[in-house]
């Protein structure tokens, strides 16, 4: 199994990831990260012996700043898309994103927001520090990503409504089409899909 250092080395050596991280740093947004699917998919691709960066994957940029309005966020996202159209930018201010998660209190920072993403494997963030070193945030570790496991975070296990959102999201994303080795776990449910059994817990 790859170590965190080996993963960071591969991420750092990828020209697209490096360019994106430098762009994010140049924006000087508070508590900003390259997060979620962009980082997760890079690792899954790398483990599947494919090119790490995938131009079809959304570039999920998050930050946390209650003083930065939703209108300003939309405007900056549009500028990113205009200035670097080769990337599929998605910019989200986590000061407001709790509204999209049923029964969720406002987040205190970007790391708390990531820890309350639907899937443990999606709860991951990467940023370029001022000293040019990479910082990785993975509150549930890297084991699920490295073992192609998709499981809900503790936050999404807490109530039935969030569990429903989690299940609907997995059905919509259909990640197994791209990575057939994935095992998707559903609370209180077993689903047979072709030759793979989805585990319950």
**pTM (two decimals):** 0.90
Domain of 113? 4-145
pLDDT digits (tens, 9 = 90+) for 52-72: 999 899 999 999 999 999 999
In a domain, 54, yes or no: yes
In a domain, 103, yes or no: yes
In a domain, 57, yes or no: yes
Strands 33-35 and 125-128: antiparallel
Residue 159 CA to residue 112 CA, distance in Å, equals 18
Angstrom CA distances, 129 to 35, 47, 54, 142, stand at 15, 26, 23, 21
In a domain, 51, yes or no: yes
Task: Say if residues 87 and 20 touch (Cβ distance below 8 Å).
Answer: yes
CATH number of the domain where residue 79 is located: 3.30.460.10
Average predicted confidence (pLDDT) for the chain? 92
Q: Structural domain tally of the chain?
A: 1
Strands 88-93 and 191-193: unpaired
In a domain, 44, yes or no: yes
Q: What is the DSSP letter of 159?
A: S
| Selection from 44, 75, 73, 74 nearest residue 57 by Cα | 44
In a domain, 46, yes or no: yes
pLDDT digits (tens, 9 = 90+) for 179-188: 999 999 998 7
């Amino acid at each position: 199994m790859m170590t965190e250092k080996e993963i960071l080395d591969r991420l750092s050596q990828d020209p697209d990831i490096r360019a994106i991280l430098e762009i994010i740093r140049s924006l000087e947004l508070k508590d900003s990260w390259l997060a979620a699917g962009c980082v997760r998919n890079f690792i899954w691709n790398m483990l599947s012996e494919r090119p790490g960066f995938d131009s079809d994957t959304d570039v999920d940029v998050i930050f946390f700043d209650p003083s930065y309005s939703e209108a300003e966020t939309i405007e900056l996202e549009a500028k990113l898309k205009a200035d670097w159209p080769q990337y599929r930018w998605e910019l989200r201010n986590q000061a407001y994103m709790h509204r999209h998660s049923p029964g969720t209190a406002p987040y205190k920072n970007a790391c708390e927001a990531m820890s309350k993403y639907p899937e443990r494997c999606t709860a991951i963030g990467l940023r370029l520090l001022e000293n040019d070193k990479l910082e990785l945030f993975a509150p549930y570790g890297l084991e699920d990503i490295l073992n192609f496991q998709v499981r809900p975070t503790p936050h999404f296990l807490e109530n039935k409504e969030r569990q429903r959102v989690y299940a609907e999201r997995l059905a919509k994303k259909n990640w197994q089409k791209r990575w057939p080795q994935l095992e998707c776990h559903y609370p209180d449910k077993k689903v047979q899909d072709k030759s793979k059994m989805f585990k319950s817990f």
